[in-house]
Amino acid sequence: MGRDALSESSGPAAAVVCGHCFSGAARPWCAPVSSSPPLPGQGVQMHQGITAGRARIGVYAAVLALLGGLLLGWSGRAGAAADPLLSKGRAAVASSTEGSSYAAAKAFDGSGSTRWASAEGKDPQWLQVDLGASADVSRIKLSWEAAYAKAYRLEVSADGTTWSPVATEKAGDGGTDEFTGLSGKGRYVRMYGTARGTSYGYSLYEMEVYGTFGGSTPSPSPSPSPSGGTPGTGAFTVVAAGDIAAQCTAADSGCAHPKTAKLAQQINPAFYLTMGDSQYDDARLSDFKNYYDKTWGAFKAKTHPVPGNHETYDPAGPLSGYKSYFGAIAYPQGKSYYSYDQGNWHFVALDSNSFDQSAQIDWLKADLAANSKKCVAAYWHHPLYSSGGHGNDPVSKPVWKILYAARADLVLNGHDHHYERFAPQDPDGKATADGMVEIVGGMGGAEPYPIEQVQPNSQKRISGDYGVLKLDFTDTGYSWTYVGTDGQVKDTSPNYNCH
């Protein structure tokens, strides 16, 4: 966030006149003139049970904390052998990020100098980690930056959709919060912030989850590489689709979006992408609630959407229902376009309804210039190349040129209601090994369109079979399958390396 840490003091020391302010890894603190730095253990709150209880530390308590710290240090932190750290280097996602330098993974990289930061000024916000396997969670430690949560919950989930609280904080004051004696079981753990302690957002240097795995145990987590990737832990799966919720329900046997939602949920990816036209026909808020929310809405918290042309038809105003339904999920940076990181990948979510506006184009150039990830994927609604009824849409060409110059790898689109993959090509449609791969994935539930005019470099086309893209990403490349609602793989891509 580019701000100095806020100066704080608590308990009896609050009445002391401060001479100098320091900001350490644990929390900002003010020292009186001629005072010594705080003793080890000060500034850390220990929590027991479901609701946190706090004790203000006086002079004698500080001495006891020091002695306790020395004893723990002597024993190598008692219980550590039976209470290992599970979250370091694991795949993470958040409701929003302040920018590519503050990605969710920064809170799980083991470094006290990097951090996750959410968009500013908005509640609620959340930070989630995938432990890789189901675990018994016994302890969670949060190291806040100056932008802390005043109220939040710690929750666990088996599937990343249904959450159960294991601890609650209602009067947070930043610093380091540690919850012990927890009894939670799940693969996913998240901090769900409901009230900010400052006017900024939420920001964590580290979120550490401790416990034991039951059953299958994930492979060990390696240390982050100097390039910002985390080799060995960067593999993750994403489900993607566009053109999803027709105005029908599961009671109608011909309704497709309940079937694609069921398939998408069974795959259980790290997160979901939607490539526009999530709701038909005019994308009113009431339509989102009556149709999309009944199916794909089951995993809304794990979805990174972009708008399509149908979201602009809302009588209440362009994107009104879309924004009201998705909220900060669709506007994590306060705009209808945004970016985020996962593993060694940088994802750019764009609004192709406004490609003719310089604000988005300027933002895109700056975002790509600031990116430090090896691999880049971008997605929006209108495809530059398509063999379907809408055909090629030149509105996307300037964006293709910017992405191609930045050596981006993958482009995902919807709009035409079929599945199609293209060989790597440049913005002018020339096949080249260093080109970008485009996928049209508009078979999420809306009525299929026929293939009309096959475009150069089109390698595979499927119309009529509803389904989703199952994209598999690694630290150095990607591949995917197109899976039909019958569970059968309809197409398998080549394996591609990142540029």
* Model pLDDT for residues 278-331, shown as the tens digit of each residue: 999 999 999 999 999 999 999 999 999 999 999 999 999 999 999 999 999 999
**What pLDDT score does 113 carry?**
87
Q: Which residues of 212-229 are buried (b: 16+ CB within 10 A; e: fewer)?
A: ebeeeebeebeebeeebb
**What pLDDT score does 390 carry?**
96
Q: 97 and 118 in contact (C-beta within 8 Å)?
A: yes
**What pLDDT score does 162 carry?**
84
Q: What percentage of the chain has pLDDT greater than the value 70?
A: 79
What is the pTM assigned to this prediction? 0.59
Residue type, 459: Q
**What pLDDT score does 6 carry?**
36
Q: Look at residue 278 and give its three-state secondary structure.
A: coil
- Lowest-confidence pick of 9-23, 149-163, 365-379, 401-415: 9-23
| Number of other CB atoms surrounding residue 431 within 10 Å | 12
Q: Look at residue 31 and give its three-state secondary structure.
A: strand
State how far Cα 436 lies from the chain centre.
Answer: 24
User: What's the mean pLDDT in 472-482?
Assistant: 95
Q: What percentage of the chain has pLDDT greater than the value 90?
A: 72
Kindly state the tokens that stand for 246. 């027709």
Mean pLDDT over the full length of the chain: 84
**What pLDDT score does 82 carry?**
59
362 or 46, greater pLDDT:
362
User: What's the mean pLDDT in 263-268?
Assistant: 94
The residues facing 496 across adjacent strands are: 478
**What pLDDT score does 131 carry?**
92
User: What's the mean pLDDT in 375-400?
Assistant: 97
User: What's the mean pLDDT in 221-248?
Assistant: 67
User: What's the mean pLDDT in 195-209?
Assistant: 95
**What pLDDT score does 201 carry?**
94
Q: 314 and 299 in contact (C-beta within 8 Å)?
A: no
23 or 262, greater pLDDT:
262
Rounded to the nearest 10 degrees, what angle do helices 397-405 and 358-370 cross at?
20
Name the band, by pLDDT with cuts 50, 70 and 90, for residue 234.
low
**What pLDDT score does 456 carry?**
96
Query: Is the per-residue pLDDT at 81 higher than 80?
Result: no
CA distances from 222 to 177, 230, 237, 361 (A): 26, 7, 19, 37
Query: Is the per-residue pLDDT at 64 higher than 90?
Result: no
Name the band, by pLDDT with cuts 50, 70 and 90, for residue 112.
confident
User: What's the mean pLDDT in 242-265?
Assistant: 97
- Lowest-confidence pick of 8-22, 137-151, 440-454: 8-22
**What pLDDT score does 485 carry?**
95
Name the band, by pLDDT with cuts 50, 70 and 90, for residue 99.
confident
**What pLDDT score does 96 carry?**
87
**What pLDDT score does 304 carry?**
97
Q: Domain locations in the chain?
A: 80-213, 236-497
The residues facing 32 across adjacent strands are: 18
User: What's the mean pLDDT in 244-249?
Assistant: 97
Query: Is the per-residue pLDDT at 191 higher than 60?
Result: yes
CA distances from 175 to 41, 68, 161, 169, 325 (A): 11, 19, 29, 13, 34
- What topology does CATH give the domain 236-497? Purple Acid Phosphatase; chain A, domain 2 (3.60.21)
The residues facing 156 across adjacent strands are: 164, 189
Please state, in angstroms and rounded to a whole number, the distance separating the CA atoms of residues 355 and 402: 12
Query: Is the per-residue pLDDT at 147 higher than 70?
Result: yes
Q: What are the E-state strand segments in 335-389? A: 338-342, 345-349, 375-379
- Lowest-confidence pick of 12-16, 368-372, 380-384: 12-16
- Lowest-confidence pick of 220-229, 334-343, 393-402, 418-427: 220-229
Query: Is the per-residue pLDDT at 384 higher than 90?
Result: yes
Determine the CATH number of domain 80-213. 2.60.120.260
DSSP class of residue 311 equals: G
